[in-house]
Amino acid sequence: MEKKLRKIKKRPRKFRRIFRIFSRFFIFFSLIFLIVFAIRHSILFKIREINVLGNSRVKREEILRAGSLKVGEKFYNISKDERIKAIEKISYVNDCDLSFKLGGKVIVKISERKPYYQIQKNDFYLIDENFRILEALKSKSSNLLDIYGVDIDNLKIGDYIFKGEGDREKVNLLKELKDEKYNLRGNLKSVELLDSISTFITIDGIKIHFGSYENIEYKLTTLKLILDDIKNTGKNAESILMEKGENPIVNGQRDIRYREESESSTEN
């Protein structure tokens, strides 16, 4: 009987102890919430001035609208990360840094993307080096590399032209073409990317039948030697066939098998 009474007495004590612990946690987190809420809505975090840095193509108004930034509003009504993500959705914005200083000053620093390629589909779509569509223009830009063979029918401004695993070979080729060691950056007029082969045209009008997407580095190294030789010797070249037989062939006034020509000139 005494044991039963002891158990009955222990239960309320145990319950009261748990209740006290729970109450303390509840009060603690409630205070934290109230403090954070008060800070976020305090006049100290009211936006009084906004400085936008690094933008040349993107208008200030577009950046402020995307980031929901407005003088007179509370900065922390929307989280900083959400504002940054919204600003980085602007097609020309590559990176955004956002800071708030006591006194109400907001500083927005952005880095912009630059067009490098263009694809024609009614309008001319400008593409950056990471293959993001930046904008569409009515007229063609003469200083950009034309890309043919890439379907962008279902894409819009801000999308990337390459997404699937099947585009990896094309992406690798375009990245290699920009490598300074091949001396092709700025010296190509257009690139055609088909499913299994690719073709380039230089600014001098030489058509390069590059062939498959295999052995890209080796073929580009060989191509550089050929183009350097054409430039140094003044050979009349109309096209270069990189995978025609064992050795590349240069077509001009007369066909030249590059390795045979280079070997005979070395002997002389």
Half-sphere exposure for 61 (CA within 13 Å, toward CB):
0
- Interval 174-202: pLDDT, tens: 999 999 999 999 999 999 999 999 999 99
The one-character DSSP state at 185 is: T
- Interval 151-182: pLDDT, tens: 999 999 999 999 888 899 999 999 999 999 99
DSSP conformation letters of 237-265:
EEEEETTSSSS-EEEESS-EEHHHHHHHH
The confidence score (pLDDT) of residue 188 equals: 96
Residue 24, phi then psi, degrees to nearest 5: -65, -45
The confidence score (pLDDT) of residue 133 equals: 97
Both tokens of 207, joined, read 């058509």
Maximum CA extent, the chain: 120
The confidence score (pLDDT) of residue 268 equals: 38
The confidence score (pLDDT) of residue 165 equals: 83
* C-alpha gyration radius of the chain: 32
Residues 210-228: b if buried by 16+ CB within 10 A, e if exposed:
bbebeebeebbebbeebbe
Our measurement of the distance from residue 207's CA atom to the centroid of its chain's CA atoms, rounded to an integer in Å, reads: 29
3 state SS of 168: helix
3 state SS of 82: helix
Q: Which of 208, 181, 206 is nearest to 197 (CA)?
A: 208
The confidence score (pLDDT) of residue 89 equals: 96
The confidence score (pLDDT) of residue 260 equals: 46
* Residues of the chain under the 70 pLDDT cut: 1-22, 24-26, 28-29, 31, 33-44, 253-268
Helix axes 258-267, 216-233, angle to 10 degrees: 50
Residue 191, phi then psi, degrees to nearest 5: -135, 130
- Which residue is listed with tokens 């880095």? 111
